[in-house]
Amino acid sequence: MSTRVVVTGLGALTPLGKTVAESWAALLAGKSGIRPIGELANAESYERHCPPSLAVADVKEFDPHAYGNLFTSQDLRRMSQFTQFAVVAAQEALRDANLIETLQKGRNDRVGCVIGSGIASVHDMYDSIVEFDRGKRLSPSFVPKILSNMACGNVSIKFQLRGVSHCVSTACATGNNAIGDAYNFIRLGYNDVCLAGASEASVHPLALAGFLRAKSITPSGISRPFDKERNGFVLGEGAGLLVLESLKHAQDRGARIYAEVEGYGLTSDAHHITSPSENGDGARRAMEMALNNQTRSQVDYVNAHATSTVLGDRAEAQAISNILSGDGKDAIKVSSNKGAIGHLLGAAGAVESIFTIKSLQDGVVPHTLNLHSVGGASGDEAENFERLDLVRGAPAKHDIRRALNNSFGFGGINSSIVFRRWEV
């Protein structure tokens, strides 16, 4: 019998809040974590390189000193901000799973860590290059601070996680892939428990200017997933971590279970480095792989990747409508969190998986912020959008037993995870 994998802990740091509870409450209340670059402390640096109309979704007033003795002075010298974000989210997730005391007792050889990042530390790379060009000596911590696996490494050290240590870096699919890999590690028997997710701290003038040049960023400063006026994403940051366990391990220790991970899909478009295949073929195949052709008619909600780009939202809407509509059931409910939190790049899938699990737990679908006029210009696109129940205006109460969370990334990577509401 295949090992079943469940979720027993959640931790998050997002543009909407410093914890899962804060972030979830703000999302349901229709609040936005997005703000104009002119409101940032270093606004002049942003506006020197970018139009003042741009916006970002940053983690506001983050202070590592606010977490008691979680960080030592040496930690703060050696850890980039994306690593600090991961440590904070890890502590919340492990506490939520009631594992801190167990780890302190050393029962941790089969507790793994899978944390990824899409870009790691733009801040440290940029600052170090500028200082180096001015003739100043590099810090001994320069290389360790910019490596993508440093969040995973430092979290493993901080909490003594001695099982699998693995870093995923698959652009904006990173968070979903980290959870999917951890799911498979547990199923393969490598670990009993795995802390999984991603962290990103890429709100920086260089990153913003780069995505703007790639024509990915909206010049309006407003994220509008699935809306006719959508024209790009808002750059965001944050961290999301989940505690995954084998069902047996969770039950043996009497853990509270949030949800079961029921399937994972991963495919490539093999089409273009930044644009999805127009018919959403890669996304469709990832969802089908996650569903394994067995639970298709039983999916109640899709938390869409939907970044607010013209091509991306169109392709995903077609993919979802192709496999989850037209089977005689009511149109499936679909929403995107990115209208409220922007696009957290590598961390998007992890944070949005947490929101998906909260939807299962609370029986509510968060609405898509800034979604007013659904669809697009072409008849085919409008038809695909109309086959979906795109939740807008307010959250929708809904009995959700299964939900899909999608994440797609540059390089043509597509990932999808199926979560099932836990019922004893």
- Give the Cα separation of 41 and 35 in Å (integer): 12
Look at residue 329 in the predicted model and tell me its pLDDT. 55
Same domain, 171 and 273: no
In Å, how far are 177, 217, 260, 401 from 183, measured between CA atoms?
A: 10, 32, 10, 19
CATH number (domain holding residue 339): 3.40.47.10
Look at residue 24 in the predicted model and tell me its pLDDT. 98
pLDDT tens track, the chain, 424 positions: 589 999 999 999 999 999 999 999 999 999 999 999 999 999 999 999 999 999 999 999 999 999 999 999 999 999 999 999 999 999 999 999 999 999 988 889 999 999 999 999 999 999 999 999 999 999 999 999 999 999 999 999 999 999 999 999 999 999 999 999 999 999 999 999 999 999 999 999 999 999 999 999 999 999 999 999 999 999 999 999 999 999 999 999 999 999 999 999 999 888 898 888 888 999 999 999 999 877 677 899 999 999 999 999 999 999 999 888 754 457 899 999 999 999 999 999 999 999 999 999 999 999 999 999 986 655 556 667 888 999 999 999 999 999 999 999 998 899 999 999 998 7
Residue that terminates a domain, selected from 241, 259, 277 = 259
Order of all β-strands in the sheet with 5-13: 165-166, 111-116, 193-200, 238-246, 5-13, 259-268, 413-421, 402-409, 301-303, 333-335, 389-390
Order of all β-strands in the sheet with 35-36: 35-36, 55-57, 235-236
Same domain, 334 and 246: no
Among residues 152, 167, 172, 194, the one annotated as catalytic is 172
Same domain, 272 and 255: no
Residue that terminates a domain, selected from 259, 291, 317 = 259
Same domain, 46 and 80: yes
Same domain, 190 and 154: yes
As a residue count, the chain comes to: 424
- Give the Cα separation of 144 and 238 in Å (integer): 20
Same domain, 120 and 45: yes
Same domain, 183 and 313: no
Identify the domain containing residue 28 by its residue range.
5-259
Look at residue 298 in the predicted model and tell me its pLDDT. 86
Can you spell out the DSSP letters for 292-321?
Answer: TTTSGGG--EEE----S-HHHHHHHHHHHH
Burial class (CB in 10 A: 0-12, 13-18, 19+), 66: exposed
Same domain, 12 and 94: yes
- Tokens found for residue 346: 């590598």
Same domain, 121 and 20: yes
User: String of b and e for 116-148 (b: at least 16 CB within 10 Å)?
Assistant: bbbbbbbbbbeebeeeeeeeeeeeebbebbbbb
Same domain, 36 and 151: yes
Please give the radius of gyration of the chain, using alpha carbons only, rounded to the nearest integer: 20
- Give the Cα separation of 317 and 381 in Å (integer): 8
Look at residue 182 in the predicted model and tell me its pLDDT. 98
Look at residue 343 in the predicted model and tell me its pLDDT. 98
Q: Give strand pairing partners of 31.
A: none
- Give the Cα separation of 186 and 375 in Å (integer): 40
Taking only the tens place, the pLDDT of each residue in 4-48 is: 999 999 999 999 999 999 999 999 999 999 999 999 999 999 999
Same domain, 286 and 252: no
Same domain, 307 and 200: no
Question: Which residue, 317, 319, 335, 312, is CA-closest to 283?
Answer: 319
* 172 is annotated as an active-site residue: yes
* Cβ neighbours of residue 132 closer than 8 Å, sequence gap 6 or more: 138
Residue that terminates a domain, selected from 237, 259, 281 = 259
Task: Domain count for the chain, please give it.
Answer: 2
In Å, how far are 232, 265, 306, 317, 419 from 313, measured between CA atoms?
A: 10, 19, 5, 6, 22
